[in-house]
C-alpha cells in the first residue's frame, strides 16, 4: 500500500486487464449465447426479466443522488438529490434524455456554486 | 490514432460477419436503406448520452495515468474491459498496489450486472447467428442495453441488431477516444464541476419511462431504496442486492395484482 507508481508494461497490469476482460465478456455473452441455442425462452425466465430495467437503473441511480446522513435535513439538503429530483420531473414530463441532463446539471451547479456556496 | 482506426475496423468486421450470420442475405436495396436507417437511429438515440459518457471516459483516462499506466495499457483496458465503473475501481486498486486477486475480484463483482442485461436482451437476439451474437455481446453496456431494450419494446419493426450496434458501437468509439484524450490531456476540467454527475442523470432519464405500471414502479422504488441503504457494502454489492430485491418486489406486486 505504498502507492508507488507502477512501471509501464508491468505484467501485473496486463494480467489484471486480461482476467477482468475475459470474465466481463463471459458475463455479457452468457445468456445471449444460451438463448440462441434454445427455441423458446421459458415464461418463468422471461417474467422476472421484465423487472431488470427498472430495478437495475434505480439501483445505479439512487446511490449517486442520495447519501444517508445522521440527520434527515443533512440527507435532504444535498445538491445532488435536489438536482436529481428536478431532473426526475423533467424526465417524467418530457422523456427527453438531453433535457434531463441539461436541467439536472444546471440545478446541480446552481446549488453548488450559488445557493450552498 | 492508428490504434483507433484498427479497432474500428475490427468492430466493422463483426458487422459484416453478422450480416451473413443474421440471415439477411435476401434483402434488396430498399430494405438495405431501411436497415441503414435502423443503424443511424441507434446512433442518433444514443447521442444525448454522450454528454455523460465523455466526462466518464476522460476520467477513466486520467485515472489510468494516476494509477501509473501508460497509454497502451489505458487503451488496452478500455478495449478489453470496456466497462467504466469496473475500470475505475480496478485502476484505484492497481494504483494502491492491492493484490491482483482483489483488483480482479472487485472489477468482476462490479460487472456481474452484465449477466442481468445479457438475460434481459437475449430473447431479442435469439434469432441471430452465433458469430453475430458473440459480436453484439462484446459491446453490451449499461447505456446500450437500456436504450435498446426501451426501443425494442416500443418499436418491433426495427432491425434490432442494427439499432443496437449503432448505439453500442458509437459508445465504444467515444469511450476509446475519451480514454486517449484523458490520458494525453489529463485533468483539464476541475472536479468541482461534477461532470460525471451526467452519468446518473442519463440513467434517470431511462429509469422514469421504464417504470410504466405498478409492478415496474414497485421494482424501481424497492431497488433504489435498498441500493441507497446498502451503499456502504464493499465491492459495489449494494447495486446487486438492490437490483435483485427490486426484481423480487416487482414479481410479488404482479402476483398480488393478479
* The C-alpha cell that represents B27 in the structure block: 434483402
Residues of B in contact with A5 (CB under 8 A): 67-68, 95
Give the residue on A whose Cα is nearest the Cα of B100.
Answer: A16
Which among B86, B128, B197 is the nearest to A105, CB-wise? B197
Q: Is the pLDDT of residue B174 over 50?
A: yes
Q: Who wins on pLDDT, A2 or A82?
A: A82
Query: C-alpha distances in angstroms, A13 versus A107, B110, B135?
Result: 40, 18, 25
Q: What are phi and psi of B213, to 5 degrees?
A: -145, -175
Helices and strands, number each (H, E), in chain B = 13, 0
pLDDT top residue among B172 and B52: B172
Residues, chain B:
258
Can you give the pLDDT at residue B2?
Answer: 35
Mean pLDDT of chain B: 83
Do the Cβ atoms of A52 and B119 come within 8 Å? yes
pLDDT value at residue B10: 38
Q: Which residue of A has its CA nearest to B120?
A: A49
pLDDT at B186 over 60: yes
Looking at residue B9, what is its pLDDT?
37
pTM exceeds cut of 0.95: no
Under 8 Å between Cβ of A78 and A62:
no
Mean pLDDT of A32-48: 79
What band does B27 get if pLDDT is binned at 50, 70 and 90? Answer: very low
Verify whether the Cβ–Cβ distance B242 to A58 is below 8 Å.
yes
Cell numbers representing residue B134 in the block? 458473440
A37 to each of B129, B130, B131, how far by Cα in Å?
10, 9, 13
Counting residues of chain B whose pLDDT is more than 90, the rounded percentage is 43
Whether A28 sits inside 8 A of B149 (CB atoms) is no
Higher pLDDT, B42 or B29: B42
The model's confidence at residue A60, banded by pLDDT at 50, 70 and 90, is confident
- Tell me what the mean pLDDT of segment A11-28 comes to: 96
B255 shares contact with chain A (CB less than 8 Å): no
With 90 as the cut, is the pLDDT of residue B196 above it? Answer: no
Q: What is the average per-residue pLDDT within A7-26?
A: 88
Name the pLDDT band for B258 (thresholds 50, 70, 90).
Answer: confident
pLDDT tens per residue across span B199-209: 788 788 888 98
Tens of pLDDT, residues B135-170: 999 999 989 998 999 899 888 888 999 999 999 999
Instruction: Give the pLDDT band (50/70/90) at residue B60.
Output: confident
Tell whether B242 is within 8 A of chain A (Cβ).
yes
CB contact under 8 A, A1 and B97: yes
Give Rg (Cα) of chain A. Answer: 21
Query: In the prediction, which pLDDT does B189 show?
Result: 58
Please identify which residue in the block is written with the cell numbers 476482460: A21
What is the pLDDT at residue B199?
A: 74
The better pLDDT of the pair A77, B235 is held by A77
Cβ–Cβ < 8 Å for B94, B73: no
User: What distance in Å separates the CA atoms of residue A40 and residue B195, rounded to the nearest whole number?
Assistant: 43
Residue B155: partners with Cβ closer than 8 Å, 6 or more residues away: none
**Percent of chain B scoring above 70 in pLDDT:** 84
Could you report the per-residue pLDDT of B112-142, keeping only the tens digit for each?
889 989 999 999 999 999 999 999 999 999 8
For chain B, positions 26-45, list CB contacts with chain A under 8 A: none
Question: Where does the pLDDT of residue B224 fall: very low under 50, low under 70, confident under 90, or very high at 90 and above?
Answer: very high
Q: Higher-confidence residue: B138 or A39? A: B138
As a 3-state breakdown, chain A gives helix, strand, coil percent values, each rounded to 5, of: 75, 0, 25
Asked if B66 contacts B186 with a C-beta cutoff of 8 angstroms, the reply is no
Cβ contact, residue pair B219, A54, below 8 Å: yes
Nearest-CA distance from B24 to chain A in Å? 17
Q: What is the pLDDT of residue A39?
A: 65
Residues of A in contact with B247 (CB under 8 A): 48, 51-52, 55
Cα B74 from Cα B175, distance rounded (Å): 12
Nearest residue to B69 (alpha-carbon basis) of A6, A12, A21: A6
Asked if A73 reaches chain B (Cβ–Cβ under 8 Å), the answer is no
Instruction: Name the DSSP letter for residue A4.
Output: P
Amino acid at each position: 500500500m505504498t502507492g508507488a507508481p507502477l512501471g509501464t508494461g508491468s505484467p501485473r497490469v496486463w494480467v489484471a486487464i486480461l482476467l477482468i476482460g475475459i470474465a466481463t465478456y463471459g458475463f455479457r455473452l452468457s445468456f445471449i449465447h444460451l438463448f440462441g441455442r434454445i427455441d423458446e425462452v421459458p415464461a418463468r425466465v422471461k417474467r422476472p426479466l421484465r423487472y431488470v430495467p427498472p430495478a437495475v437503473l434505480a439501483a445505479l441511480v439512487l446511490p449517486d443522488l442520495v447519501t444517508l446522513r445522521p440527520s434527515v435535513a443533512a440527507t435532504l439538503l444535498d445538491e445532488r438529490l435536489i438536482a436529481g429530483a428536478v431532473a426526475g420531473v423533467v424526465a417524467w414530463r418530457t422523456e427527453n434524455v438531453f433535457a434531463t441532463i441539461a436541467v439536472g446539471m444546471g440545478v446541480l451547479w446552481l446549488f453548488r456554486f450559488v445557493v450552498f456556496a | 490514432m492508428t490504434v483507433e482506426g484498427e479497432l474500428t475496423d475490427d468492430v466493422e468486421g463483426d458487422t459484416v460477419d453478422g450480416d451473413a450470420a443474421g440471415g439477411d442475405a435476401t434483402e434488396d436495396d430498399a430494405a438495405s436503406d431501411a436497415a441503414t436507417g435502423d443503424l443511424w437511429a441507434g446512433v442518433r438515440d444514443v447521442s444525448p448520452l454522450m454528454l455523460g459518457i465523455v466526462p466518464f471516459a476522460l476520467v477513466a483516462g486520467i485515472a489510468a495515468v494516476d494509477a501509473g499506466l501508460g497509454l497502451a495499457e489505458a487503451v488496452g483496458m478500455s478495449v478489453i474491459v470496456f466497462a467504466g465503473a469496473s475500470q475505475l475501481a480496478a485502476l484505484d486498486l492497481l494504483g494502491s498496489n492491492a493484490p491482483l486477486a482483489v483488483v480482479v475480484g472487485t472489477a468482476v463483482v462490479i460487472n456481474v450486472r452484465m449477466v442481468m442485461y445479457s438475460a434481459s436482451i437475449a430473447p431479442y437476439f435469439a434469432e441471430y447467428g452465433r458469430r453475430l451474437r458473440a459480436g453484439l455481446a462484446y459491446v453490451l453496456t449499461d447505456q446500450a442495453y437500456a436504450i435498446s431494450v426501451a426501443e425494442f419494446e416500443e418499436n418491433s419493426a426495427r432491425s434490432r441488431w442494427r439499432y443496437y450496434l449503432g448505439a453500442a458501437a458509437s459508445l465504444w468509439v467515444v469511450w476509446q477516444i475519451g480514454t486517449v484524450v484523458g490520458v494525453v490531456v489529463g485533468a483539464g476540467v476541475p472536479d468541482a464541476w461534477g461532470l460525471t454527475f451526467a452519468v446518473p442523470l442519463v440513467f434517470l432519464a431511462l429509469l422514469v419511462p421504464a417504470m410504466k405500471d405498478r409492478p415496474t414502479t414497485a421494482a424501481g422504488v424497492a431497488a433504489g431504496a435498498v441500493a441507497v441503504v446498502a451503499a456502504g457494502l464493499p465491492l459495489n454489492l449494494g447495486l446487486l442486492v438492490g437490483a435483485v430485491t427490486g426484481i423480487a418486489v416487482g414479481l410479488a406486486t404482479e402476483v398480488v395484482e393478479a
